[in-house]
Amino acid sequence: MRMFKGCLRFLIALLITAMVVHWIIPYPQAKTVQAPASCGPGCIRYDVVVIGSEIQGVLLAREAMKHGLDVIVLDPRSKPGGELIQGQMQFLDEPNDKNQKSLVQGDIKELFDGFKKGTIRKASEFNTFYARKIKDIPIKSGIEIQSVETVNVKETESLQSLTYLVNGKRHQVQADYWVENTDFNALTGKLDTKRIPGMESLYKGSGHDPDYMAATLMIRFKKVDWRKLHQAILEDYPLSNVQEKYGPNTYVDWNIATGLSNIMMKYKPHDSQMVLRGMNTLNQGQGEAIMNALLIYDVDPADEKSVQSAVSKAKAEAPYVLEFMRKNIPGFAKAELNGYPEYLYIRDYNRFQTEYVLKYDDVKDSRMFWDNVSIGGYAVDLQATRNIPKGIGFGKTDRYGMPLRSFELKSYDNVLVVGKNVGADVKAYGSARIMPNTALAAQTIGIILGNEKNKKLKDLTQDDFRRIHAYLKKDYGIILDN
């Protein structure tokens, strides 16, 4: 009996000790999430506020949150996803160096690896990828920015707060950092800053109004016989003969079809706002394909009526495009339309002065920067405008650096721009604009925000970046110093 009581006392003591240890030292997976601080009645303060839900800003927000920062995404669109999900821009361009080595790094590599393997091709598969990346990030959709408040700090403006409406209710937020992540300047369009000249700067003379590359409505097909398309092109090899017959850049494998412009550009649109260019078509498998070819001029992405008008016109044009392709493109004789995206692929809109505006010579000469946040690489590809109806290219590039300063808005000490808002002159933009270049930059910036909490980004030095590049390489496998 005495032994039993002794054992019982030991077991009770052991249980109490275990409970105390559990109370003092939580399990590793138990994470305490701090509520964002209040900055007054009706106001919430965050470390980082991201405006828009394009994949680049999502990657930045995700990294900042991993490092303990309070983050929110405020999205002016009714649903999250932007170009990649709502616009279904799923014909992915990959940057390579002069030796054809892929330059894709960071989390976006998961998307590109799946794309190349064929496991991420259809809209549902892109949706799954995006959903994983935005999981647990606080997001409010359908917001409308009402006003911004700035303060002057040492002759530099600082964005202090933003007021927005959602479902008719007014909210105010403050933040240490703000991120422009839309394709229509939802945030930067309300700030006092200078526009970087766009496509109009390529014309002879000066004094032109702003001009932008055409937008696209992605066209989806089903019942495509890709084997027949592939075989038809193979029969005309060698490639020099293929390109003479079908047009420059014509190429078809089991995954993509490009070019065929000698056929495609014979199409006469029913609406003068549109033009059909070379195919740029992705084989999604099981007879499905998606084509990035129906260009739409004069779309103002900041004007919802302009966007919806363009979507409606393009949807009306799509059946005529289908009929033309049935008659003229091998493998499309029995093709049918397969639904439509909800939004457009916007290539180009206003970009504003950053601390350093990436130049064409930087891209052409493979310049590296002490504050690299991405390694870019892609042909300088500027798509059509009304004044440059066939677009214009300036050749391929090798790898080049993209500095943090090209993502820091000039004259504001706490506003960052990501994605297509990158600070670059129009020629450099023709290469820098593609997703993997800007996605890596955004993720890197999120990591830096999380790791360099005691310094303003604009105060980081070359010594700091030697250290930053070292931990990016060691902890993330991201190489930016060469």
Same domain, yes or no: 219 and 270: yes
- Return the pLDDT at 207: 65
For 34, the domain range is 30-202+352-482
Q: What is the mean pLDDT of the chain?
A: 91
State the DSSP string of 123-190.
HHHHHHHHHHHHTT--EEES-EEEEEEEEEETTEEEEEEEEEEETTEEEEEEEEEEEE-SSS-TTGGG
Contact 419, 57 (CB under 8 A): yes
Asked if 192 and 375 count as a contact pair (C-beta separation under 8 A), the reply is no
Q: What is the pLDDT of residue 153?
A: 76
- pLDDT, residue 384, reads 93
pLDDT (average), residues 363-384: 96
Residue at a domain's end among 309, 337, 365: 337
For residues 269 and 252, what is the distance between their CA atoms, to the nearest angstrom?
Answer: 25
Residue 65 has pLDDT above 50, yes or no: yes
| 268 shares a domain with 172 | no
Give the burial string for 78-94 (b: 16+ CB within 10 Å, else e): eebbbbbbbbbbbbbbe
Q: What percent of the chain has pLDDT over 70?
A: 92
Alpha helices (runs of H) in 209-367, residue ranges in sequence order:
226-234, 239-246, 261-264, 304-328, 360-364
Taking a C-beta distance cutoff of 8 angstroms, is the pair 175, 158 a contact? no
What integer pLDDT is reported at residue 28 of this predicted model?
A: 30
| Residues 32/36/37/38 CA torsion (nearest 10 deg) | -140
pLDDT of residue 9: 53
141 and 75 together in one domain: yes
In a shared domain, residues 43 and 188: yes
Residues 6+ apart with CB under 8 A from 340: 217, 219, 220, 311, 315, 318
Distance CA 448, CA 465 (A): 10
Around Cβ 146, how many Cβ atoms within 10 Å?
Answer: 13
Give the model's confidence band at 16: pLDDT under 50 very low, under 70 low, under 90 confident, else very high. very low
Distance, CA of 399 to CA of 480 (rounded, Å): 11
Q: How large is the average pLDDT for residues 67-84?
A: 97
pLDDT, one tens digit per residue, over 304-334 is 999 999 999 999 999 999 999 999 999 999 9
Question: Three-class SS of residue 195?
Answer: strand
Q: Are residues 251 and 103 in the same domain?
A: no
Lowest mean pLDDT among 52-56, 223-227, 238-242, 415-419: 238-242
User: Is residue 90 assigned to a domain?
Assistant: yes
Strand partners, 170: 165
Rounded to whole angstroms, the Cα distance separating 54 from 130 reads 10
Q: Residue 280: is its pLDDT beyond 80?
A: yes
The two three-digit tokens of residue 134, written as one number? 């935005």
User: What pLDDT sits at residue 5?
Assistant: 45
Identify whether residues 389 and 323 lie together within a single domain: no
Q: Is 412 helix (H, G, I), strand (E, B) or coil?
A: strand
Per the domain annotation, does 131 fall within a domain? yes
Q: How many domains does the chain have?
A: 2
Cβ of 318: how many Cβ atoms within 10 Å? Answer: 18
With beta carbons less than 8 A apart as the criterion, state whether 125 and 132 touch.
Answer: no
Q: What is the DSSP letter of 199?
A: G
Instruction: Answer with the residue of higher pLDDT: 387 or 322.
Output: 322
pLDDT of residue 12: 44
Evaluate whether residue 198 is within a structural domain. yes
> Could you tell me if 43 and 144 lie in one domain?
yes
Looking at residue 156, which CATH number applies to its domain? Answer: 3.50.50.60
In a domain, 276, yes or no: yes
Q: Please check whether residue 13 lies inside any domain of the structure.
A: no
Lowest mean pLDDT among 111-125, 240-254, 324-338: 240-254
321 and 367 co-located in one domain = no
Lowest model confidence (mean pLDDT) among 147-161, 274-288, 360-374: 147-161
174 in the same domain as 49: yes
pLDDT value of residue 35:
60
Residue 38 binned pLDDT confidence (cut-offs 50, 70, 90)? confident
Answer whether residue 7 is part of any domain.
no
Name the residue among 134, 118, 329 with its Cα closest to residue 221.
329
48 within 8 A of 175, measured Cβ to Cβ: yes
Residues 6+ apart with CB under 8 A from 192: 157, 411
Say if CB 431 and CB 397 are below 8 A apart: yes
When pLDDT is averaged across residues 48-53 and rounded to a whole number, the result is: 98
> What residues does 336 pair with on adjacent strands?
222
Specify the pLDDT at position 42.
83
Whether 61 and 165 share a structural domain = yes
Look at residue 479 and tell me if it is in a domain. yes
Domain final position from 337, 368, 402? 337
Query: Hunting for tokens 């000790």 — which residue is that?
Result: 17
* Judgement on whether residues 34 and 124 belong to the same structural domain of the protein: yes
Q: Is residue 20 domain-resident?
A: no
Q: Which residue type occupies 410?
A: K
Picking from 274, 302, 337, the residue at the C-terminal end of a domain is 337
State the Cα torsion 237-243-245-251 to the nearest 10°.
Answer: 70
Q: To the nearest whole percent, how much of the chain has pLDDT over 90?
A: 84
Tell me, yes or no, whether 313 and 453 share the same domain.
Answer: no
Residue 34 confidence (pLDDT): 52
